[in-house]
Structure 1
Amino acid sequence: MTTATEGRELTEVGPGTVMGELMRQYWIPAAQSSELARDGAPVRLMLLGEKLIAFRDSAGRVGVMDHRCPHRCASLFLGRNEEGGIRCIYHGWKFDVAGNCVDMASVPPHQDFKHKVKAKAYPAVERAGVVWVYMGSSAKAPPLPAFEILDVPDDEVSVTFIQRECNYLQAIEGEIDTSHFGFLHAGHVDPDDVPEDDPVHHTITNRAPEYHITDAAWGTQYAAYRAAGPDSTYWRFANFLFPFWSQAPNGEFGSHVHARAWVPLDDGHTMFCFLRWKPGISALTQPQPAFKDGRPIGGTGRSNKFLPNTTDWLGRWRLVANASNDWGIDRAAQQSNAIYSGIDGIHLQDQAITESMGPVTDHAWEHLAPSDQMITRTRRRLLMAARALRDKGVMPPGAEDAEVFRGARSGYFVSDDKSSWQEIYARQLAEAVHPSPTPLRAAE
């Protein structure tokens, strides 16, 4: 059971909070590179409870800074992005991407003091089609995480952003809970309709997997297992990676190179950032099997429909189906068991469940089961790391040694190997397809 104090420590991410300070030790995916046009309009960003703007200057460099002009606090979102910087429209003061004041147009030259004024700006880099921001206080930014997906050329990476109206922890915990798959996504599928060689077969025939759980160098890991005949086991390995990343087992382990971030915008809103290697074999690259009466896993929906982006602080990458329309639930489809949940689409089903808990769920209402061990282990791992940073200055996993993330991979496979589960994982990882690492690992 999570106490009220622990719940606050885990879920509150604003400046000065225990978890907020932990997250500031890492690079944070903030926006898609395509959202920022050279000399184009600034974009409002909300990250860790801070109101920021992002813009791309005349040279193509990205700036991310507090939206308030340090002169009189007018919003730089209204500013003119021109000639290498953002100019406040109130008095014409101009700032470059590093926050340096480069022009005080309203001040006589002999009274100019621009060298003493600096906007609050954060370092920003681009990789894999994403703008990454470092919001920590260290003079030297940490390296980018050594995810395999950041090793591949940008044109081989698929990037998806989707906003979710709930706390980041609820979203992560939905990711690392594999036992819901056989119900929420596949409750309408009859095991007799699934071919034995289909990977989904084992999750349908046995909807109550058993687990191995452990702390890992990068965070936590689970191995869900089910019998796959008399001599084989169906494995689903997945990971939580500090501070808010997950790797889901929704692809073949040998080539499923991806990373999924659940970035806290504020305590009640999260941005899902999904980076996937296009050549990898996953649920998104394989034809969707249709079972009895043409009903596929998760329903017929394979894509997400978005509302137009707005300039609001929380106006980016919102789904058309949301709490205001009950996520498009079809009660007739639910009642007839055409779609178990009545909600069409795997991602949307997950989104509806975690958003239905409210912006920040009250953990005192929970009655956790043995199948929730990955959730409890991850909560404790996060909490202990945040407290160690606060109380002893101990840096959290991966903040300094980003290479620990390179050992993380997720996915499914069937094996007749009778070794320990850790040995099976290590052997599968060694035999997997690995994109060649690039020399650009540091946040240059």
Structure 2
Amino acid sequence: MLTMDSNDILTRVGSGTPMGELMREYWIPACLPQELAPDATPMRIKLLGEKLIAFRDSAGRIGIMDHRCPHRCASMFFGRNEEGGIRCAYHGWKFDVDGNCLDQPNLPEDARFPDRVKAKAYKVAELGGIVWVYMGKRKVAPPLPALECLSLPADERMVLCHQRDCNWLQSLEGDIDTSHFGFLHVGSVKTEDVDPDTMHRWGLINRTPRYHVKETDWGTMYTAYRPADPGNYFYRFAHFMFPFFALVPDGTFSNMIQATLSVPLDDSHTMTYNLAWTKREQALRTLKDGSPIPGASLARDFLPTTTDWLGRWRLKANRGNDYLIDREEQSAGRSYSGIKGIGQQDQAMVESMEGPEEGIVDRSFEHLAVSDRMIAITRRRLIAAAQAHQKDGSLPATVDRPELARGARGGSFIASDKVDWLDAYYAELTRAQSPMDFLQRAQAAE
């Protein structure tokens, strides 16, 4: 059970809130690079409750700024993206990607004051197939994130995103909840239906794992473990990383280079980014005859993009149509949930959680169990970090040392039940090493 005051600390992300101010100390994903073309129409985006516009200028530079023109507050969404800057349609004032005023054409030349006007623009960078923005107060932004998957070659990198109509924490907690996989996603699958040689079958043989959880420099980590063949455990490791990253356990540890980012658009909407190595080995996607497990795919269909603040990357399967649930498939036992697609199954669950306002669950109604230890400890870590930053400005270590993320990877492996779980983890991590080292070894072996 969580008090409403604690829940507010966790879920509110607007300017001035404890969690919102903590998140602004990090680089935040804003959009995909391909969504912005030079001199093309500006795009409305929301981040941490702020209404912004994004555009790419004539030279290919990206600008992300408050949508209000500093002159009379008309929206720059209606502006002209041309000749190295964006020009307000109201009076023609023009600004570059850094917010500098370039022109005030409605004023006599001797009455212009461009050096005293600046649009609220944020620092922007492109990395790993994502456009990142720094919304904090530092004059010099902190280092960019150092997630493993951001080092992958562009031709071996997958970047997907979709919007969720719920608070960011609901989205994140779904990614660090391991025991639901054996039910929501593969609950209809029997052990004899899958390849007898895959280690992931142990997750079907025993759907009630035990857990180890601990705090880390980058956030929190856990493993769900259960007996495998005699003398061994089957481990599934996952991590939470500040401010809203998750490394899920859904694959083979040695090549599971991936991350899921639950980016708050506002208090009740989240953009989820899935980054992954295209050659990773995922867990339990096919039956032993090679056919796909019903519903266990990443396929997703989208509604047409609109120009409103929340008009991008919205799934066709949504709350309004009950996520296209097929009750016949569910009742026949062919699909545990009756919902098609792993992402849509997760989405239905996290969006269905209710609270005093739509999109934010009332966690005082919960009854957490041993399977929720990772969630409970992660909440505690987040609250402590937000309160510490509010009190004296202190920050999690990964703000200025993002390379600490190199100590984290999600995924599954089998290890001796005589070895400490952390020793087993670091032994596997040492064998896996960095993504570039792994790729070089894999290519050398081919």
Q: TM-score range by the shorter chain?
A: over 0.9
Aligned to 1:16: 16
Distance 1:224 1:423 in 2: 15
Asked if the contact 2:218–2:396 (Cα under 8 Å) also holds between the matched residues in 1, the reply is no
Distance 1:395 1:433 in 2: 27
Aligned to 2:320: 324
TM-score (norm 2): 0.94
Task: Give the SS at the match of 1:126.
Answer: strand
Aligned to 1:290: 287
Aligned to 2:301: 305
Aligned to 1:387: 387
Distance 1:302 1:263 in 2: 19
Alignment of 1:43-442 (within 5 A): 43-283=43-283, 288-290=285-287, 296-297=292-293, 299=295, 301-358=297-354, 359-416=359-416, 418-432=418-432, 434-436=434-436
> What do the CA deviations read for 1:349-374 (whole angstroms, capped 9, x no partner)?
00100001140000011000011000
Asked if the contact 1:386–1:396 (Cα under 8 Å) also holds between the matched residues in 2, the reply is no
Aligned to 2:5: 5
Distance 1:200 1:427 in 2: 20
Structure 1 position 280, deviation (Å): 2.6
Task: Give the SS at the match of 1:436.
Answer: helix
Q: List gaps (5 residues or longer) in structure 1.
A: 438-444
Q: List gaps (5 residues or longer) in structure 2.
A: 438-446
Structure 1 position 200, deviation (Å): 3.0
Distance 1:241 1:26 in 2: 12
Distance 2:221 2:426 in 1: 13
Distance 1:372 1:295 in 2: 33
Aligned to 2:440: none
Task: Give the SS at the match of 1:303.
Answer: coil
Asked if the contact 2:186–2:296 (Cα under 8 Å) also holds between the matched residues in 1, the reply is no
Structure 1 position 281, deviation (Å): 2.5
RMSD: 1.5
Asked if the contact 1:9–1:18 (Cα under 8 Å) also holds between the matched residues in 2, the reply is yes
Change (3 A) 1:95 1:108: same
| Identity rate, percent | 54
Q: Return the letter of the residue paired with 2:143.
A: P
> What do the CA deviations read for 1:23-79 (whole angstroms, capped 9, x no partner)?
001000110000000111111010000000000000100000000000011000000
Distance 1:107 1:157 in 2: 49
Change (3 A) 1:423 1:171: same
Task: Give the SS at the match of 1:123.
Answer: strand
Aligned to 2:443: none
Aligned to 2:442: none
Asked if the contact 1:310–1:316 (Cα under 8 Å) also holds between the matched residues in 2, the reply is yes
Distance 1:231 1:164 in 2: 42
Distance 1:413 1:11 in 2: 34
Q: Return the letter of the residue paired with 1:46.
A: K
Task: Give the SS at the match of 1:254.
Answer: helix
Q: Return the letter of the residue paired with 1:69.
A: C
Distance 2:329 2:87 in 1: 54
Aligned to 1:27: 27
Distance 2:298 2:23 in 1: 32
Q: Return the letter of the residue paired with 1:222.
A: Y
Distance 1:121 1:95 in 2: 10
Distance 1:34 1:239 in 2: 29
Distance 2:123 2:46 in 1: 16
Aligned to 1:440: none
Structure 1 position 202, deviation (Å): 1.0
Task: Give the SS at the match of 1:211.
Answer: strand
> What do the CA deviations read for 1:400-419 (whole angstroms, capped 9, x no partner)?
11111111101011123622
> What do the CA deviations read for 1:310-345 (whole angstroms, capped 9, x no partner)?
111000000000000000111111111110111111
Asked if the contact 1:189–1:291 (Cα under 8 Å) also holds between the matched residues in 2, the reply is no
Distance 1:152 1:369 in 2: 37
Task: Give the SS at the match of 1:353.
Answer: helix
